[in-house]
Chains A and B, each alone.
Chain A
Amino acid sequence: MKRTLLGYLPLESPVHSFHPIVKTFFLLIVSVYPLLIDSPDWNLVGIFVLLIIFYLSRIDVSILRFYTTIMLNIFWIIFIAYTFFGGYSPDYHVVGRLGPIIVSWENIAWAFSVYCRMFWGILIIIYFLSVSRERDIILGLRWLRLPYVISYTAGLALRSIGLSIIDFNTIREAEKARALDMGELPLTHKIKKFGLYIVPLMSLALRRTDEVSNALDARGFSFAGWRDSRRTEYMLSKYEVRLRDLLVIALMVFMLLALLYLKLTTAVLSTSNSLVLGVLARALGVS
């Protein structure tokens, strides 16, 4: 198993054989796809294809159950926001009323469409984090000739998420050891005592910043403009871009261009021809 940002990836996974730049392009290019597609049908197809890619990459798909609560919460937020506060136009199809709030079919359709888009987008990020190590992000960005300090900061930022979670758990255990169990308190007390988490987390983060800064100096790191010699790309030299990497990147770029073309010149990706929305409309009695 090789450790990734979100867990472990089996050594047999075909993803290991790709250059880090392929993963970087995956994040940069494929994450744009949902933004171009309004139709829930195509977003659902994208979700289905991505789940197949999860399987082919040998990622344990059961990890997605950890995100069920988040996805449900996102669904309710989007549904409430669009359905009850999405606005009203006289040509909208009214489905119901809640006092002064008019619930219209168009807002429900948009809520569903936006949710499918967001679901696919989040799945893309989960996939990227499940197959990538911090090294892949840094090397991918370095391959694109971004300054080392930017690529290193990106990797450090991602790593700090995990470190913050560890710090948070440490603080919680320390508080429990001193008879403060936030889990037992009502919500209003939790909010009031939120500072008891934030202050130690911030001070731990500042201390870690200090330590990283000292360690960087102790290893001779300095910004490009201050250095008298070029920084060697030793780790980047260990990876070679091969034909299969170029083919996958080309495929991703081609898909992006195709989606752009369809978005700008046709109604294929719009909600007007959506079968899923058609079924939903009939279920709600909208003509």
Chain B
Amino acid sequence: MNDWALADINLTIHRGEFVCITGPNESGKTTLAMSMNALIPHNYQGVMRGEVLIFGEDSRKLHPSQVSRRVGLVFSDPESQFLTMSVEEEIAFGPENLGLDIDEISRRILWALKLTKLSEDLLDKPPYELSGGQKQRVAIAAILAMKPEVIILDEPTSMLDPLGKAEVLEVLKRLREELNSTIIVIEHRLEDIAPLATRFILLNKGRIVKDADPREFFDDIDFLLANHVNPPEFMVVLNELRRGGLYSGRVPLRFDEGLEVIRRLLSHD
């Protein structure tokens, strides 16, 4: 057995962190996400060695439906996670399974709609008829309504157009600002996540090759490129300027900060 999807993973996620897990295709990101809510090993055949502790309990002893009360998972394809034929039923489905009372479910639906900036007019619509960004926001709202302590989002913007992507990223910003939850986002494209996350984990061929805070993570751009990760382009530009001796500072995390650095460099010329 040489082809482990994940190997030598020694990882602890702390309460309140906003973690971004990134890496090239087939690096094991989705496998890692599904291990965190017990879908692996319960729903997938395979060999698992070691242990995954979810709030101190072995995931092998927990059923995914039990874990989902504390760990929510949003999949990359919003349509694959729709279980009902209206937005209201979709968002209510999770709280119904938790056995909450009717008034509480009603409150949570409205709260989840507000947090994901979805209109109440959409409640009666089939989720399949919504735009890509709306669909993903409904999927996020459906998990939020369960108020899990940990929210995992597996490539939430991968199937979206730029407008849909912007809508979902706006939701992630609000989640970070307004909730005390631990958020784990799996993303390829880092330009929008870089200012949000408090920790970055780089996976390649099933192994963690880098685990650092954002400043340290993006300080070695060449390392990221060698591991098939595409950092934001302004970081690549500044890295090249740094390599050419034209810039000696750290790579900024935000585009506006990067623009300011370039403006200062040009004004010195």
Contacts and interface: CB of A to CB of B under 8 A. Distances in A.
* Pair from one complex: yes
A223 B12 CA distance: 32
B65 interface: yes
B92 interface: yes
A159 B80 contact: no
Given A218-B37, A218-B73, A226-B63, A232 B89 contact: no
B85 A133 contact: yes
B100 A220 contact: no
Given A133-B85, A135-B84, A215-B80, A234 B126 contact: no
Interface stretch (A23-31, A206-214, A248-256): A206-214
A51 to B, nearest CB: 28
Given A134-B84, A212-B83, A219-B142, A232 B105 contact: yes
A226 B126 CA distance: 30
Given A133-B85, A135-B86, A234-B105, A218 B97 contact: no
A231 interface: yes
Interface string B95-112: 111111110011000000
A45 interface: no
Interface string B38-77: 0100110000000000000000000111101100110101
A204 to B, nearest CB: 12
Contact of B99 (A211, A226, A232): A232
Contacts of B99: 227, 229-232
Contacts of B84: 134-135
A222 B89 contact: no
A213 to B, nearest CB: 6
Chain A interface helix/strand/loop/mixed: helix
Interface residues of B, number: 42
Contact of B39 (A212, A217, A220, A227): A217
A232 B63 contact: no
Interface string B119-138: 00000101001000000000
A138 to B, nearest CB: 8
A211 B126 contact: no
B247 interface: no
Interface string A220-254: 11100011011111110100000000000000000
Contacts of B124: 2
Nearest to B100: A232
A213 B43 contact: yes
A232 B43 contact: no
A275 B106 CA distance: 58
A232 B77 CA distance: 27
A213 B63 CA distance: 13
A215 B83 contact: yes
Contact of B98 (A133, A210, A213, A220): A220
Interface in A123-160: 133-135, 155, 159
A163 B16 CA distance: 40
A4 B100 CA distance: 29
Contact of B83 (A3, A216, A229, A231): A216
Interface of A: 2-3, 133-135, 155, 159, 208, 210-222, 226-227, 229-235, 237
Interface of B: 37, 39, 42-43, 63-66, 68-69, 72-73, 75, 77, 80-86, 88-89, 92-102, 105-106, 124, 126, 129, 142-143, 146
17 contacts: A2-B124, A135-B85, A214-B39, A215-B75, A215-B81, A217-B39, A217-B42, A217-B64, A218-B39, A219-B143, A220-B65, A230-B99, A231-B99, A232-B96, A234-B92, A234-B95, A234-B106
Top 5 nearest A-B pairs (CB, nearest first) are: A229-B99, A217-B64, A220-B97, A211-B80, A222-B65
